[in-house]
């Protein structure tokens, strides 16, 4: 009998590291929502002079991949500078865990985004972020790189699942190269909306499927 | 290798009863011919007799006659046959079909497929316990409604429908009624000689019978067209070599279910529901407390995710299932929990326990103990609990 998860994933799932909250954190984030399924909260203590992450804790409402990635990413980020930590990719996190099932890649992405969002929170509070960027096709493509194609475990941009994107008057339109009754159509749609509708100048997200 | 496993997913599939296998063996190794006509050779005639005796046992269990029971490969085929067969036979009379929103996939996705072929389908809402509202059924039925399909019991939350009233409404409005009884057959009473339901889907795999065998009850005179082409078997409704060993096994499985067993299942169910409510804060029962399958408990453990629960339980030797999106093949949260008005979070943390012949009260106690620890462990790391 073989679990779909590696020993290392199961080990982190059974005994997650760095779990909990930090009182008065220097940066914090809450990524995901109960709607998509998983949620991750990340709390950081950062040394203002060296910009080194001195302490990191996380909480997870999610499946085994989510919990394990949250756990491993806290280990990877601790002791790094915020710039180093920002560049940790979900691929590196997944590799650190000995691999994840493709269908679960989006859970692992969420934990990585949680870490980045917590760092961004710190940067915003400390005036390290320049002004807000308007949403363009470029920005949309960048965000969609975090939407996983559950068939492959790679993102929807790289796997050419997105036929077209457009943005006009705050309304974003994304055309997905799947029939609307595809097994994963609903899941992908929800994921796309979630990645885009939080952008500051986006009013509505329309996801269109091919028939 | 799984002797120690406490298996509580009996609505997905059950362990075969040895007595069923014993009854089947002779039709694999001794009487292995196809069912021939009475003018055939003796082994084929014996095979036919075995098949017909099984048909009689199963049909009489639900108050029907043998010639009203068509063997199929299981529930999925039975429900496809019912919906597509009736739709095809009656498309000139009307193109309107009604199904409940919380039907299992064989009915739900067949209805969706018919929609693409030009039929019009209404998906009936259910209340917070999963029951179809009779008034809304009455107002949804139109002159051109050809078929209503409402399950007898729900596959996930175990809610029983008021089939008697639903059937009399359909009868009054002169509309055919199909019911999916996959999870209720032999577990709760169904008598087609008293309740005017026209088509009933049943299966062997949910009652310790073989998988790959089911049946569709088709009331005499019901307009239905063959939907799979081939030979003239099964009253010319279901082509293909009859699966006689499985039909014999199915009949044996039907005979082996007793009222005593069903009572025992209900006791285990109640033990888990009561135990969970006693030991664990912030839990919700999904489905009706009173009108539910004897073998089904479905509970949401708030602030935690179902796949994490099932994995922890698996590592402790328990098999259960969940309505969480993470657990499902389509990554979608349970349409049943959503259908009874639950949000994603309620579906996400829902766990289904379904009992069978080989479970004991000790299993029920053990799973409550285990799940209370697992839920506590997961709540410690959940950002949702800490918010509340």
List per-residue pLDDT tens for chain B, 388 residues long: 788 899 999 999 999 999 999 999 999 999 999 999 888 999 999 999 999 999 999 999 999 999 999 999 999 999 999 999 999 999 999 999 999 999 999 999 999 999 999 999 999 999 999 999 999 999 999 999 999 999 999 999 999 999 999 999 999 999 999 999 999 999 999 999 999 999 999 999 999 999 999 999 999 999 999 999 999 999 999 999 999 999 999 999 999 999 999 999 999 999 999 999 999 999 999 999 999 999 999 999 999 999 999 999 999 999 999 988 777 777 778 899 999 998 888 999 999 999 999 999 999 999 999 999 999 999 999 998 755 4
Specify the DSSP class assigned to residue B214: E
Backbone angles phi, psi at B153, to 5 degrees: -145, 150
Alpha carbon distance B334, B342 (integer Å): 10
Residue B325 near chain A (CB below 8 Å)? yes
Among B356, B260, B367, residue whose Cα is nearest residue B313 = B367
Residue B329 near chain A (CB below 8 Å)? yes
Q: For residue B60, how far is the Cα from the chain centroid?
A: 19
Q: In terms of CA atoms, which chain B residue is nearest residue A149?
A: B331
Same domain, yes or no, for B355 and B372? yes
Same domain, yes or no, for B263 and B233? no
pLDDT at B54: 98
Same domain, yes or no, for B117 and B263? no
Q: Would residue B333 count as lying in a domain?
A: yes
Where in the sequence numbering do the catalytic residues of A fall? 36, 107
Residues 6+ apart with CB under 8 A from A58: A16, A18, A19, A40, A41, A42, A43, A70, A71, A73, A74, A111, A114
pLDDT at B118: 96
pLDDT at A118: 95
Q: Would residue B7 count as lying in a domain?
A: no
Residue A43 near chain B (CB below 8 Å)? no
Q: Would residue B296 count as lying in a domain?
A: yes
pLDDT at B386: 58
Specify the DSSP class assigned to residue B357: T
Sheet holding B120-124, edge to edge: B69-72, B214-218, B199-203, B176-180, B145-149, B96-100, B120-124
pLDDT at A195: 82
- CATH number of the structural domain A7-125: 3.90.1010.10
Q: How far is CA A159 from CA A65, A163, A176, A194, in A?
A: 22, 11, 11, 19
Name the domain boundary from B240, B256, B272: B256
Query: Which CATH number is B330's domain given?
Result: 3.90.1150.10
Domain boundaries, chain A: 7-125, 137-209
Name the domain boundary from B236, B256, B276: B256
Backbone angles phi, psi at A161, to 5 degrees: -85, -20
| Cβ burial, residue A182 (10 Å; 0-12/13-18/19+) | middle
Alpha carbon distance A89, B314 (integer Å): 31
Same domain, yes or no, for B280 and B229? no
Same domain, yes or no, for B241 and B282? no
Q: Would residue B12 count as lying in a domain?
A: no
Alpha carbon distance B199, B219 (integer Å): 6
B330 with A184: Cβ contact below 8 A: yes
Same domain, yes or no, for B220 and B262? no
Q: How many structural domains compose chain B?
A: 2
Instruction: Please give the class, per CATH, of domain A137-209.
Output: alpha beta
B305 with A20: Cβ contact below 8 A: no
pLDDT at A200: 83
Same domain, yes or no, for B195 and B151? yes
Residue A21 near chain B (CB below 8 Å)? yes
How far does the CA of residue A168 sit from the closest CA of chain B (Å)?
Answer: 30
Same domain, yes or no, for B97 and B164? yes
Residue A40 near chain B (CB below 8 Å)? yes
pLDDT at B326: 73
Same domain, yes or no, for B175 and B297? no
Q: Which of A4, A11, A31, A37 to mutate to test the interface with B (most CBs of B within 10 A)?
A: A37
Same domain, yes or no, for B207 and B316? no
Name the domain boundary from B223, B256, B289: B256
| Cβ burial, residue B62 (10 Å; 0-12/13-18/19+) | buried
- Helix ranges restricted to H, A15-169: 64-77, 82-86, 90-96, 105-125, 137-144
Alpha carbon distance A150, B291 (integer Å): 38
Q: In terms of CA atoms, which chain B residue is nearest residue A43?
A: B383
SS3 of residue B387 by DSSP: helix
Alpha carbon distance A46, A53 (integer Å): 5
Domains A7-125 and A137-209 equal at CATH topology level? no
pLDDT at A1: 63
Q: Looking at the partner chain, which of A38, A150, A181 has a beta carbon nearest the beta carbon of B305?
A: A38
Alpha carbon distance A67, A61 (integer Å): 8
Q: For residue B87, how far is the Cα from the chain centroid?
A: 22
Q: Which parts of chain A have pLDDT scores under 50? A: none
Report ipTM for this prediction: 0.84
Q: Would residue B11 count as lying in a domain?
A: no
B112 with A181: Cβ contact below 8 A: yes
| pTM (two decimals) | 0.90
Q: Containing domain of residue B103, as a range?
A: 18-256
Q: Looking at the partner chain, which of A13, A59, A184 has a beta carbon nearest the beta carbon of B331?
A: A184
Same domain, yes or no, for B345 and B250? no
Q: How would you classify the pairing of strands B199-203 and B145-149?
A: unpaired
Same domain, yes or no, for B198 and B276? no
Query: Which CATH number is B182's domain given?
Result: 3.40.640.10
pLDDT at B373: 97
Q: How far is CA B375 from CA B6, B94, B117, B352, B363, in A?
A: 18, 51, 46, 14, 18
Alpha carbon distance B364, B6 (integer Å): 9
Contact B224, B237 (CB under 8 A): yes
Within 103-122 of A, beta carbons closer than 8 Å to B belong to 103-104, 107
DSSP B154-181: -TTT-BBP-HHHHHHHHHHTT-EEEEE-
Alpha carbon distance A198, B130 (integer Å): 34
Alpha carbon distance B7, B177 (integer Å): 34
Alpha carbon distance B376, B268 (integer Å): 23
């Amino acid at each position: 009998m073989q679990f779909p998860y590696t020993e290392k994933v199961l080990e982190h799932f059974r005994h997650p590291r760095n779990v909990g909250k930090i009182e008065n954190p220097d940066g914090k984030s809450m990524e995901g929502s109960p709607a998509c399924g998983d949620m991750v909260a990340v709390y950081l203590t950062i040394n203002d002079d060296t910009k080194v992450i001195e302490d990191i804790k996380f909480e997870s409402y999610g499946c085994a991949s989510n919990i394990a990635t949250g756990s491993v990413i806290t280990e990877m980020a601790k002791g790094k500078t915020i710039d180093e930590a920002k560049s940790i990719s979900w691929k590196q996190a997944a590799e650190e865990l000995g691999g994840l099932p493709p269908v679960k890649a989006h859970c692992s992405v969420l934990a990585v985004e949680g870490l980045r969002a917590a760092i961004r929170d710190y940067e915003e509070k400390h005036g390290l972020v320049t002004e807000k960027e308007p949403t363009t096709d470029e920005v949309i493509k960048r965000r969609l790189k975090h939407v996983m194609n559950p068939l492959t475990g790679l993102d929807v941009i790289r796997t050419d699942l997105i036929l077209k994107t457009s943005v006009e008057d705050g309304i974003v339109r994304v055309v997905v190269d799947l029939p609307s009754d595809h097994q994963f159509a609903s899941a992908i749609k929800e994921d796309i909306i979630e990645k885009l509708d939080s952008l500051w100048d986006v009013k509505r997200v329309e996801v269109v499927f091919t028939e | 290798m799984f002797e120690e496993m406490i298996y509580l997913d009996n609505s997905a599939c059950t362990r075969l009863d040895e007595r069923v296998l014993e009854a089947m063996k002779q039709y694999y190794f001794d009487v292995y011919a196809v069912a021939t006509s009475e003018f055939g050779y003796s082994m084929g005639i014996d095979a036919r007799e075995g098949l017909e005796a099984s048909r009689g046992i199963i049909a009489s269990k639900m108050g029907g006659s043998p010639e009203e029971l068509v063997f199929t490969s299981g529930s999925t085929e039975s429900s496809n046959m019912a919906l597509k067969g009736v739709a095809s036979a009656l498309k000139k009379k009307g193109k309107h079909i009604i199904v409940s929103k919380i039907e299992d996939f064989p009915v739900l996705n067949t209805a969706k497929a018919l929609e693409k072929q030009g039929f019009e389908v209404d998906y009936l809402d259910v209340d917070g316990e999963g029951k179809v509202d009779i008034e809304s059924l009455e107002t949804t039925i139109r002159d051109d409604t050809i078929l209503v399909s409402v399950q007898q019991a729900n596959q996930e939350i175990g809610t029983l429908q008021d089939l008697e009233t639903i059937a009399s409404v359909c009868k009054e409005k002169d509309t055919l009624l199909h019911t999916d009884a996959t999870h209720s057959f032999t577990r709760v009473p169904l008598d087609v000689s008293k309740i005017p339901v026209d088509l009933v889907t049943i299966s062997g795999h949910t009652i310790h019978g073989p998988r790959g065998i089911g049946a569709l009850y088709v009331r005499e005179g019901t307009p239905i067209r063959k939907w799979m082409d081939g030979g003239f078997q099964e009253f010319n409704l279901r082509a293909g070599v009859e699966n006689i060993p499985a039909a014999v096994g199915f009949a044996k499985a039907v005979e082996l279910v007793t009222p005593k067993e069903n009572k025992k299942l209900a006791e285990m169910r109640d033990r888990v529901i009561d135990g969970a409510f006693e030991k664990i804060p912030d839990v919700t029962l999904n489905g009706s407390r009173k009108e539910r399958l004897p073998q089904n408990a479905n509970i949401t453990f708030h602030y935690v995710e179902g796949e994490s629960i099932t994995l922890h339980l698996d590592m402790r030797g328990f098999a259960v299932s969940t309505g969480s999106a993470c657990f499902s093949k389509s990554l979608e949260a349970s349409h049943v929990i959503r259908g009874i008005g639950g949000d994603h979070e309620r579906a996400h943390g829902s766990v289904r326990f379904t009992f069978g012949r080989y479970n004991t009260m000790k299993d029920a106690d053990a799973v409550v103990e285990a799940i209370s620890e697992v839920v506590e462990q997961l709540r410690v790391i959940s950002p949702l609990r800490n918010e509340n």
